[in-house]
Amino acid sequence: MRIRSLGILGCAVALTLASAGAAPADDAIGQVKTAKGTVQVVHQGQTLPLKVGDHVFQSDTIMTDKAASVGITFTDNSMMSLGSNSKLALSQYRFDATTHVGVFDSVLSQGTLAAKSGQIVKQRPEAMHISTPTALLGVRGTEFVVRVEGKS
């Protein structure tokens, strides 16, 4: 009986350790729907590859290399696509799925971003902002594209 108990305990410890480094999907603000080329995320100080199905979180920074792109759908049904050589920081994101009230702030420091706003903007048009090195965009429409030239 002792060997079996250790086996179950060992499995529980292994599962705990395996999940310790991963952020809970409950805290996810979006999910990668498309990815082409080298796409990375800086999450809690670590730079990791980003692929279809991965989750993104508030305070993550998404980066694409040359000839790369990524498409992300957020929990409010906003959609963002980054083109090649892009860098987007997901600064602040809150969304209440019941009331559709929230805030969505991000910083595009280089590259191209195409976006379609979701429930946050439908509920409160002034609740979404995209900052760039030279401008702050208050998103009041439903679809837009912005490009930042040069390096950050």
pLDDT digits (tens, 9 = 90+) for 73-130: 999 999 999 999 999 999 999 999 999 999 999 999 999 999 998 999 888 888 988 8
Structural domain boundaries, residue 120: 26-148
Q: Rounded to whole angstroms, how far apart are CA atoms 130 and 120?
A: 14
Tell me the per-residue pLDDT of 116-139, one tens digit each, with 9 for 90 and over: 989 998 888 889 888 998 865 655
Residue 43 within any structural domain of the chain: yes
With a CB cutoff of 8 Å and minimum separation 6, the contacts of 91 are 58, 59, 105, 106, 107, 131
Total number of domains constituting the chain:
1
State CA 20 to chain mean position distance: 20
Per-residue pLDDT, 17: 35
Residue 137 within any structural domain of the chain: yes
Residue 13 within any structural domain of the chain: no
CA dihedral (117, 119, 125, 127) positive or negative: negative
Residue 39 within any structural domain of the chain: yes
Residue 18 within any structural domain of the chain: no
Tell me the per-residue pLDDT of 28-79, one tens digit each, with 9 for 90 and over: 999 999 999 999 999 999 999 999 999 999 999 999 999 999 999 999 999 9
Residue 20 within any structural domain of the chain: no
∠ CA 101-94-82, nearest 5°, is 110
Residue 16 within any structural domain of the chain: no
